[in-house]
Structure 1
Amino acid sequence: MLANYPTLPDTSPQYKATLDLFRLLYGTMRTRKLSMVLYVASYFSIIDAWKGLRTGYKRGARMMYAIQQSWSQKSRFSHLEFLNKLIFPQPWQILKAVMLRATALLLAVFGSAAALRIKSVTHSGPACPQSDRLTWSGGLDDLTITLPDFSETIAAGQTTSCQVHLLIDEGDPGKALLLQDVTVSGGLYLSSNTKVDFYTTAYWSETASDTVSRCTCLLGVRWRKVADWSNKVAKSTSTASGSAAVFRNVDVAQRVNSASPCTGSDGYVGILNVAFRIISQGGGLVFFGKERKDVDTSPVVESLAFKWQSC
């Protein structure tokens, strides 16, 4: 039935424009889910584009048939075969319709993962940057906080710390946000016969006042009191030098598994507080700051990994 329909000449401007259009749409797809979204978006957009036209029903049937054939062959990159079966008098109008449909579908498919928002990141503590140049990037899987001015030297028995506070909202109602892993990367110098202890502490608070209220002291370190002590998780690791001083780049990685309170209907998750402490043991000096990479340096970076879990 469809064999008698005309096709666009390979040299026509409409054919070339439409070919570029679908290369743009499908040529960069890497996942079956995204490809399916664009196929569905194209399906509905084409129906809209031809609606009300005298030949719309015939052309719409032709396009639906081509889409079904292309998808049944499990080919995400079959736009050449796809285009040979179609007539596109106004390809860029179809592009606009397809992209609008695709945007709506993508928001529906990925809405809960993309909704989470880190509203702000602040810091406190003597080892934190003394400027306002703290930056962050990434999402749930690879949030990275850059501390460009983090540079501390401490003597035996001394300690220093830096704490970051993340205000998080627009979460998934009925679920808790779990901080799984914290990794702090930087350059470490140890003088001879020196040991250093790294502590990572994570806890959640409802408001900013919970993070700055009364504090107690433990081993010379100021601990900030929170409303719910039960959700605080602390992990530690150590490294030491021998008879000679050492300098090396290190990744201080800790699995903390600290869960937020259950997110309410308003989407507010809370304030995540992550403290990184350094304690010098032995008789020498400890330096922690920028990494050395050949002749260049790289700032201290703190990486966080999250996931949602049921309450």
Structure 2
Amino acid sequence: MILPTLLTLLFTTATALPAEAAAPAEAAAPAAGARISSIQYSGNGCIRDPKLSGGLVDPTFTFPNFAASLPGTNQTLNCQVHLVVDTAGSGWQFALSQNAVKGRVVLNPGTRLDYYTTVFFSEAAAKTSTVRGHIKNEDDSTLDKSVTLVNNLGGGKVWSQCTGSSGNAGILNVNFRGALSGSGKAYFEALQENWDLEWRKC
């Protein structure tokens, strides 16, 4: 049996960020005193709020009920995280560089899972990046395995506004969506989503 190949395709859905004469220096960690001041969730994949763990470099969200099935009425599910960070000082920006979703997929022959990560800040919603990938079963037997779905923003990273004296970096919105399709039965359950956040001085 040949396992299907994970394909990750990168595309930007809006105008790219303007080029800078000199890129700000990236930092390994956020500003001292930075904290999550607000977090909310929306979407049919997180009717019950995920559990948040980790810090401001690698936050992790554990889903209690993100499960899609084909056929059925929940073939497509999404969970969008709305995150507000207070940097407790001026001169900072942050961006999502990668997200990884751990879960389980069951695909009968002729079915597939498409997955998407969309990122934007509410203060500049026109600057939006979407990354997508898929798994499909072109074999004669059922594919049933644990998966880690990695979406890397690469050059499509969307940076927050540069914080002023208030320390407000804006509202980061990250939407993960999984969609099943095909002529057979399929199942996808997302168990946990992990982010890699990058920080830099500006």
Do residues 119 (structure 1) and 10 (structure 2) align?
A: no
* Match in the other structure for 1:245: 142
Name the counterpart of 1:281: 181
Is 1:146 the counterpart of 2:28? The answer is no
Cα displacement string for residues 98-157 of structure 1 (whole angstroms, at most 9, x for unaligned residues): xxxxxxxxxxxxx963322112322111122x334x21111133211111222221439x
Query: Deviation of residue 198 (structure 1)?
Result: 0.7
Aligned residue identity for 2:68: E
* Matched-pair identity in %: 35
How many Å separate the matches in 2 of 1:283 and 1:186?
22
Q: Tell me how large the CA RMSD over aligned residues is.
A: 2.4
Partner residue of 2:131 out of 235, 259, 268: 235
Change beyond 3 A, Cα 1:269–1:166: same
- Partners in 1 of 2:81 and 2:175 — Cα distance? 6
Which of these residues, 106, 109, 112, is aligned with residue 189 of structure 1?
A: 106
Q: 1:285 to 1:270 in 2, by over 3 A?
A: farther
Correspondence 1:162-173 to 2 at 5 A = 162-173=79-90
Give the strand-richer structure, 1 or 2.
Answer: 2
- The structure showing larger relative contact order (alpha-carbon pairs under 8 Å, at least 6 residues apart) is 2
SS across alignment from 2:194: strand
Deviation digits for residues 247-277 of structure 1 (CA, Å, limit 9, x no counterpart): 1111111112221111121001111111111
How far, CA to CA, are the matches of 1:113 and 1:170 in structure 2? 6
Which secondary structure state, in structure 2, belongs to the residue aligned with residue 140 of structure 1?
A: coil
Aligned residues: 170
Which has a greater percent of helix?
Answer: 1
Larger Rg: 1
Counterpart residue number, 2:25: none
Q: Given the two structures, how large is their TM-score scaled by the length of structure 1?
A: 0.50
Question: 8 Å contact 1:193–1:244 — kept in the other structure?
Answer: no
**Which stretches of structure 1, 4 residues or more, deviate above 4 A after TM superposition?**
none
Distance 1:191-1:204 versus aligned 2 partners, 3 A rule? same
Alignment of 1:207-246 (within 5 A): 227-230=124-127, 232-241=128-137, 242-246=139-143
